[in-house]
């Protein structure tokens, strides 16, 4: 038996293994239960003592050297596998960013930011209040008598009566925040109140939950001329036109006297509305001088303080400005719609750089 020749053959098989499977096959062929070296070591018992004393150390040394060769080859194959994997999973950090952001700002959020930017420039603060209101702040303090039909016009969502018999409700307008603001802050007041409101109504131009913004000015010696000036400045800035024609039509709201509906000049051309040009008119908001009873409910003397207020639907003016045909799509969570009508995250409204860019 030539042990050196056997070692060269078995070592060659180990070193020539191209992958882990081939290396395992070489190990089994040499050191497995029926491996060639294993069979030789089993034959040591049949040798005479002198021969066994000479051959046994050689076989043990060969077994150790084969084990070392197998481990060395296994390490080499693992290193090669790792290098191949790293090469296939490499991320090139020098690649440019994706050409288009995936996220979008909802048109309602964008329009609220635009409105806040305009009125902040005019010196107004932004006020907020609860969506769940009581009857006093939503109706009574706004000069809605208990049996007044205007309460029914609002199609209010009422909660079940509480232990005292009072029914809370989802606010039907953000005017309730005006009451809370006047109760907790000394005059004069200049605020706008954007937020969600709720009424039981649903069609192409109405949804059970929608967005409104109210404006309030309380001061000494203010009048309808000031109201008209504020609204004209807002319309010019919001619709981004040089001039805008406005007309005030007499109307009725319990919380203002006198009250008016405001129309702006526009034109209808091939299904598109153009603000600031043409001979047509489009209603956009309601307004008026704050009713003396509202001031009294808030602890203000109407002989000393007076003011004006207005309110408009944020969803409606968003539809007008950006050509959105159906209000219901605002609330359907359709990513394709949002990608079309939405705004880039960094399109922050700013009067200096163009409100809607």
Contact (CB, 8 A) for 267 and 274:
yes
Short-list 251, 252, 261, CA closest to 281: 261
Rounded to two decimals, the pTM is 0.67
For residue 124, what pLDDT is reported? 96
**Angle ∠(140,163,168) on CA atoms, nearest 5:** 35
DSSP state of 199: -
**Angle ∠(242,244,248) on CA atoms, nearest 5:** 160
DSSP state of 206: B
Cα Rg of the chain (Å, integer): 41
Mean pLDDT of 258-268: 91
Mean pLDDT of the chain: 87
Lowest average pLDDT, out of 35-39, 157-161, 350-354, goes to: 350-354
Tokens at 79, concatenated = 């290193």
How large is the angle between the packed helices 20-31 and 3-15, nearest 10 degrees?
Answer: 160
d(CA 168, CA 170): 7
pLDDT tens digits, residue range 177-203? 999 999 999 999 999 999 999 987 766
Tokens at 12, concatenated = 């060659």
Give residue 1's pLDDT band: very low, low, confident or very high (50, 70, 90).
low
d(CA 271, CA 274): 10
Short-list 305, 139, 303, 310, CA closest to 214: 310
Phi-psi region of 98 (alpha: psi -120 to 50; beta: other; left: phi over 0): beta
Contact (CB, 8 A) for 142 and 150:
no
Most confident of 148-152, 238-242, 257-261: 257-261
Mean pLDDT of 3-11: 85
Short-list 137, 214, 134, 124, CA closest to 180: 137
d(CA 249, CA 343): 35
Contact (CB, 8 A) for 315 and 324:
no
b vs e for 217-249, b when ≥16 Cβ sit within 10 Å of the residue's Cβ? bbeeebeeeebbebbbebbbbbbeeeebbeebe
Q: How many CB atoms lie within 10 A of CB 27?
A: 21
* Termini Cα distance of the chain: 91
- Between the CA of residue 191 and those of 128, 214, 273, what are the distances in Å? 10, 8, 30
Query: Helices in 122-251 by DSSP H: which ranges?
Result: 135-138, 149-153, 175-184, 224-239
pLDDT tens digits, residue range 320-334? 888 888 888 888 888
DSSP state of 255: T
């Amino acid at each position: 038996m030539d042990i050196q020749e056997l070692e060269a053959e078995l070592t060659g098989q180990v070193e020539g293994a191209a992958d882990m499977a081939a290396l395992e096959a070489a190990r089994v062929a040499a050191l497995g239960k029926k491996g060639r070296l294993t069979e030789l070591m089993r034959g040591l018992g049949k040798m005479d003592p002198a021969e066994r004393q000479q051959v046994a150390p050689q076989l043990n040394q060969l077994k150790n050297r084969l084990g070392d060769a197998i481990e060395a080859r296994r390490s080499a194959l693992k290193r090669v596998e790792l290098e191949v994997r790293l090469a296939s999973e490499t991320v090139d950090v020098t690649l440019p960013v994706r050409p288009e952001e995936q996220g979008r700002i909802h048109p309602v959020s964008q329009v609220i930011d635009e409105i806040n930017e305009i009125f902040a420039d005019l010196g107004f603060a932004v006020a907020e209040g609860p969506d769940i209101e009581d009857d006093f702040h939503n109706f009574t303090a706004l000069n809605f008598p208990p049996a007044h039909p205007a309460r029914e016009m609002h199609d209010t969502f009422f909660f079940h009566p509480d232990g005292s018999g009072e029914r809370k409700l989802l606010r039907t307008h953000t005017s309730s925040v005006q009451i809370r603001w006047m109760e907790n802050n000394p005059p004069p007041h200049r605020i706008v109140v954007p937020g969600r409101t709720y009424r039981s109504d649903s069609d192409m131009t109405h949804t059970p939950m929608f967005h409104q913004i109210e404006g309030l000015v309380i001061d000494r010696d203010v009048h309808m001329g000031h109201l008209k000036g504020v609204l004209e400045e807002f319309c010019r800035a919001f619709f981004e036109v040089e001039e805008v024609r406005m007309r005030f039509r007499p109307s009725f709201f319990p919380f203002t006297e006198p009250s008016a509906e405001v129309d702006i000049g526009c034109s209808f051309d091939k299904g598109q509305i153009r603000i600031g040009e043409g001979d047509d008119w489009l209603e956009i908001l309601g307004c008026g001088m704050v009713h003396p009873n509202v001031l009294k409910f808030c602890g203000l003397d109407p002989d000393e303080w007076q003011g004006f207020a207005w309110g408009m639907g944020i969803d409606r003016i968003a539809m007008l400005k950006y050509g959105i045909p159906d209000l219901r799509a605002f609330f359907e969570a359709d990513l394709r719609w949002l990608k079309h009508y939405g705004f880039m995250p960094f399109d922050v409204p700013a009067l200096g750089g163009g409100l809607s860019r």
